[in-house]
Amino acid sequence: MAENAPEGSAAASGPNADTNDSRGPADAFLGGSLRHAAGPYYGAYGGRWMPESLIAALDELEETFEKAKQDPEFLAEIAELNRNYSGRPSLLTEAKRFSAHAGGVRVFLKREDLNHTGSHKINNVLGQALLAKRMGKTRIIAETGAGQHGVASATAAAFLGLECVVYMGAEDCRRQALNVARMQLLGATVVPVTNGSQTLKDAINDALRDWVANVETTHYLLGTAAGAHPFPSLVRFFHEVIGEEARAQILEQTAKLPDAVCACIGGGSNAIGIFHGFLDDPSVRLYGFEAGGDGVETGRHAATITLGRPGVLHGARSYLMQDEDGQTIESHSISAGLDYPGVGPEHSYLHDIGRVAYEPITDAEAMEAFSLLCRTEGIIPAIESSHALAGAIKVGQRLAAEGGDPSDRIVIVNLSGRGDKDVQTAADWFGMLDENGQVKGTTLSTRQPKGASPHTAGAVGTGEENA
């Protein structure tokens, strides 16, 4: 804890103290609501560590967002799209067979995997794409790691008639080739990024470079609750629906609040969305599960809050994986969506005041939970979300160990996305592939291919369209 103490908290709260919504741990609940924190600062975190060239665009975005939030027409538009395009409210499903592995507590899954495009990301992209139109911008750019945010952005752009360019690390393009094709099918241009570590952080760097040059026409549709103000509060705003629905649904289904809520944390957008619904319920313990990669002791991980220290990256002051020189350390995770060395500033604040507990989950633990959910519930989760599932198993066992009837205890897991995109990675992890990378047992056919015409390939394409 000493190592993780925010070294500059005194200094950083100094200059901004008058505009700052800074609270200490003691008054996390006494000082009123933790909900709807507007930024730019969350305690010593947040702010705008950005080139001057982009400040005007951030101001314009903030102003547009603040007006839209108060505009019934905008809110109605979002609600209508959530209902009739994304498929909200998403279900809250009790995972009865999975629960047996989590100490016997009742585990409920918030089914963001059932949203259009397969994850929570759609909530934010629709909101931001509408803001882009309000600002008169005709082009959106986005970064993507696993491809989920890129696919969601391409979807929103197609739906609202905007041009879309997605920056994606070349290494991630390789890991998530199918999502590259999905974005292209949706009409987006995917730019593979070959700078630096060729993953998410470098994709953000290139998106920022694009934005500086094209800010007149272009909105940067940031995919997580991080970055310069107003992005952290803006992205959270569009994901708050997750927590609001979950809270109402659990009360309806069980007539009480949950004991714990679990979510995975990369930048932290799905987590802040579901946590927000419960921030002011002191009895509800909140858990954020970071990517522990090969294990935090190996140095190959993405456990930013667990092992990072405060710094600035991509526009905000927050916990950061950095070396002694302040150079960003490359993160590692089996999950491309959590493979990011930073984290949203509100999470750093919630960590420091002790409102949310952040813990690492290794690749191996996540994949075990992935497999377990597949086999006990018939749901293939995203590998990102599998970190939350693995965490929920631990939390459930701890709750059960506290005594009493475990079936009186309730844990909600934010199932932030579905695992269709991860089938290749999972098949590889579980040893289902042969030396040619083909699924074992699928290459036994001795039938001659029917002719060699290109139409053969067309049949495959038709299948994919329906996928």
Q: Which one of 20, 22, 34, 48 is in contact with other proteins (CB under 8 A)?
A: 48
3: annotated active-site residue: no
Which is closer to other proteins, CB of 308 or CB of 396? 308
Residue 51, interface with other proteins (CB under 8 A)? yes
d(CA 459, CA 184): 19
Q: Which one of 38, 135, 178, 215 is in contact with other proteins (CB under 8 A)?
A: 215
Which is closer to other proteins, CB of 199 or CB of 386? 199
Helices (H), 313-418: 345-352, 363-377, 383-401
3-state helix, strand, coil in the chain (%, to 5): 50, 20, 35
416: annotated active-site residue: yes
d(CA 205, CA 195): 9
Q: Which of 110, 121, 201, 421 is catalytic?
A: 121
User: Which residues make Cβ contacts (< 8 Å) with residue 441, sequence separation at least 6?
Assistant: none
What Å distances lie between residue 224 and 196, 200, 201, 238, 337, CA to CA? 21, 11, 12, 11, 10
| Cα torsion 376, 336, 84, 123: sign | positive
Q: Which of 233, 331, 386, 416 is catalytic?
A: 416
Smallest distance from other proteins to CB 375, Å = 41
d(CA 20, CA 46): 10
* Stretch binding other proteins (CB under 8 A), from 47-55, 99-107, 131-139, 273-281: 47-55
Q: Which one of 63, 216, 428, 434 is in contact with other proteins (CB under 8 A)?
A: 216
Residue 56, interface with other proteins (CB under 8 A)? yes
* Stretch binding other proteins (CB under 8 A), from 79-87, 155-163, 196-204, 247-255: 196-204
346: annotated active-site residue: no
Residue type at position 415: L
Whether the Cβ atoms of residue 221 and residue 128 lie closer than 8 Å to each other: yes
Residue 22, interface with other proteins (CB under 8 A)? no
Three-state DSSP at 174 gives: helix
* Contacts to other proteins from residues 302-361, by CB under 8 A: 311-314, 320, 322, 324-328
Q: Taking CA 45 as the corner, what is the angle to CA 43 and CA 48, rounded to the nearest 5 degrees?
A: 125
* Stretch binding other proteins (CB under 8 A), from 6-14, 81-89, 111-119, 177-185: 6-14
| Cα torsion 33, 36, 39, 42: sign | positive
Q: How far is CA 400 from the centre of its chain?
A: 29
Binding-site size, other proteins (CB under 8 A): 42
Q: Which of 62, 143, 290, 346 is catalytic?
A: 143
Q: Tell me the catalytic residues.
A: 121, 143, 416
Residue numbers of the site for other proteins (CB under 8 A)? Answer: 7-8, 11-12, 14-16, 47-57, 59, 195-196, 201-202, 205, 208-209, 212-216, 311-314, 320, 322, 324-328
